[in-house]
Structure 1
């Protein structure tokens, strides 16, 4: 079953919306063919005045029009998603072809080559309706969309009046195209707008992740500047003083250089502390960050993690597990809910992260098939004799379980009196 549905479940929410929208409009071409394809044949069967050549010509016109609408709509959706330029030339070709087709059909009707009024009305109205909806996909402003529908309706109604079929017939054609084309155009415009909004939300989420990385880099840079800037300034001043004292033969120059050495060693220690603080993750901060990030992404996050007296090394590695799994929930699958649970007992601390909407290919949990992020977590857990289990928990769910043994002195540690954090 996973192999059959993986082409859908492995897609993100934005990709699912795009796929659904594309195939909806791709199916409009067969709908037009089915609707109009048999009309010339039925007309030829009832009217001896229509020849075989005209029947073939009308069939080819319907086929060409549906293919042109299919091409323009596909290119227009590519423009909506930002992958293609706006198909302005193709849209002009479609509009011109529809106008020319309306003139030819109305002329054949006036000349007596087409005598079935229902066939003529269907050819004029249906092709104009599909043209109006397709043109709307190429436009951004509602006002321009309304102009496209009105222009298509006039292009269908004017030939009827010009070729002398009467004002009532032309008004009926105008009203039919306005109603049908307006409804279809509204559906097309809304679908295009919705696809654009979903794509923009997807880009915003990616941008948010990149900004978080950039912000962390800036924080790290500021910390290094605060540590090194001050100490390097003191080292430069004391070195200059030592040089001046040495030139004068003063013994105090040695004391100044000893002080420079001490400050340099202190700087090394502070830099190591900054880097170590950058590399280590605080479990409580990571839990709060995971909850905030997932909530902001529209994913309900339930955190059940009482405050435990865990060693610093254990908290750091579990914090990394929370950070990496949160990133995976955001980047992969289509999660709606995520649950994070922390427990300590039987000589070990256990952190469980489970989310729904997982897009896990077949065999993803097998050894050697996991991503580099989980491999990095296994390395970090291995440094503290911990283990990591990751894989599907049930259909469309994914679970990560990190186990870290506690030191003997911590085995009987009890949670400090504090209420659980639960966020739905």
Structure 2
């Protein structure tokens, strides 16, 4: 919840950090402005231009500037105390209190030697408590602060009365001192309260996102349990039965293992269906989701062009992942005000473009050189998904300070690809099978395990271990895509 160092550039900060920095900077400037205005103005006309009054006024100005330095030094600690991040060390108030007493003493001495006129004295009275109360207002409740302000006003008034100030000038000291304290109360404390509310809202959004992820994990776990729980229990029971029958030399053991093989195949397909449902992205859904998320983040987002609803499912899934990754990069790495998503579909090609005006941070974070290798890792993962469909991905700065990401997928090759409507899909030994497999997909060892379990000479229909291996490879490739 703290601003991570004053040395970071403005563009590297999040929106909340920028607001936090602006609020702290504003509060830090308040005592300096008051010291230079209210403590420096009387030097022109109100302070007598003689050595002693000028020396006292200059000393009072230096003490006020020292108070400003201490106020700025204590601001971070008092801010953290108000936000509940850390406790304010009480010893830090000792030096400001001493300087306040010194300032009141110098002010009373200057008034006692008749070195300042009434209006200048009132301005100096306004400035005297400012630096201390800016720190104090964030440390105590409002009621206690008001009581302390009254006590501080009584101290300043008493010191000036002892110095010989009487009449209307002394009567004006009371409202001036109280006005300075109340001015700090109504300006500094609401600012800190607003920051506290915004940080809590930011934290609540983070917790909400984590809860959503946890809920999705639980749902995925429930689905996997529902899919595999009963089948694995049946496999265990039938395996035990097969062992008992095999030990007794009964031929029914082979039938039990064939049934185990069938249930394992069915479970494998069910797991693929569950994983595919989680890993495949729908283009229409992702476009609507990206527009809603970016708009909620204060980024003007427009979606133009073809909806892509008539595209083949693999193309929609790949482009949906591009939209999801692009929207994530815009939110995490850039600070744009506008984002444009265009979908263009012709007879031969599907093109998706995502443009935003946050070119520098988004481009640096999403450059191909910095993207980690491996599937599902930023732009490298998107290129792998598109490469499975003979597609391409380009990303980089564009004219006008924009960052543009372009995904292109040829449709002619997909429509002419064997295995769609010609009955060749799933047949082992198809010439196109190696090309369609995702690069890097490994052969699953399930077929070898099945061959070792099933007794020699027992064939399980035309879908023997070889064809099972091909199906497994295709499932692995689809899951990786």
Band the TM-score falls in, shorter-chain normalisation: 0.7 to 0.9
**1:282: which partner in 2?**
282
Change in 2 beyond 3 A, CA 1:7/1:92: closer
Deviation at 1:44, TM superposition (A): 7.1
Change in 2 beyond 3 A, CA 1:24/1:349: same
1:64 maps onto 2:66 in alignment: yes
**2:382: which partner in 1?**
377
**2:434: which partner in 1?**
none
Contact 1:109 1:115 in 2 (8 A): yes
Distance, in Å, in 2 between the alignment partners of 1:30 and 1:362 is: 40
**1:218: which partner in 2?**
218
**1:194: which partner in 2?**
194
Range 61-70 or range 27-36, more displaced: 27-36
Report the aligned-residue RMSD. 3.7
Distance, in Å, in 2 between the alignment partners of 1:290 and 1:130 is: 48
Higher Rg of the two aligned structures: 2
**1:3: which partner in 2?**
none
**2:344: which partner in 1?**
343
**2:134: which partner in 1?**
133
Provide Cα deviations, 1:236-255, integer angstroms capped at 9, x if missing partner.
Answer: 22233334545665443332
**2:353: which partner in 1?**
352
**1:46: which partner in 2?**
49
Distance, in Å, in 1 between the alignment partners of 2:126 and 2:132 is: 10
Provide Cα deviations, 1:32-88, integer angstroms capped at 9, x if missing partner.
Answer: 442325757987753455485x55643432222111111122333455677x62435
Contact 2:239 2:257 in 1 (8 A): yes
Provide Cα deviations, 1:362-385, integer angstroms capped at 9, x if missing partner.
Answer: 877865256862232223222322
Aligned counterparts, 1:81-96, within 5 A: 85-89=86-90, 92-93=93-94, 96=97
**Residue segments in structure 1 that go unaligned for 5+ positions in a row:** 1-5, 412-424
Change in 2 beyond 3 A, CA 1:113/1:345: same
Change in 2 beyond 3 A, CA 1:107/1:187: closer
Distance, in Å, in 2 between the alignment partners of 1:191 and 1:73 is: 13
Contact 1:12 1:333 in 2 (8 A): no
Distance, in Å, in 1 between the alignment partners of 2:68 and 2:210 is: 43
Change in 2 beyond 3 A, CA 1:342/1:274: same
Provide Cα deviations, 1:212-232, integer angstroms capped at 9, x if missing partner.
Answer: 443333333222222221211
Aligned equivalent of 1:386, options 363, 384, 391: 391
**1:232: which partner in 2?**
232
Distance, in Å, in 1 between the alignment partners of 2:81 and 2:380 is: 39
**1:17: which partner in 2?**
19
**Residue segments in structure 2 that go unaligned for 5+ positions in a row:** 1-7, 417-481
Structure 1 residue runs of 4+, over 6 Å off? Answer: 40-44, 361-366
Provide Cα deviations, 1:182-225, integer angstroms capped at 9, x if missing partner.
Answer: 23331212222233333334434444444444333333322222
**2:409: which partner in 1?**
404
Deviation at 1:161, TM superposition (A): 4.5
1:302 maps onto 2:305 in alignment: no
**1:415: which partner in 2?**
none
Distance, in Å, in 2 between the alignment partners of 1:388 and 1:157 is: 75
Deviation at 1:151, TM superposition (A): 4.8
Distance, in Å, in 2 between the alignment partners of 1:163 and 1:331 is: 62
Distance, in Å, in 2 between the alignment partners of 1:377 and 1:150 is: 66
Change in 2 beyond 3 A, CA 1:315/1:143: farther
Contact 2:363 2:403 in 1 (8 A): no
Range 68-77 or range 239-248, more displaced: 239-248
Distance, in Å, in 2 between the alignment partners of 1:60 and 1:118 is: 20
Contact 1:295 1:301 in 2 (8 A): yes
Q: TM-score of the superposition, structure 1-length normalised?
A: 0.79
Distance, in Å, in 1 between the alignment partners of 2:100 and 2:31 is: 19
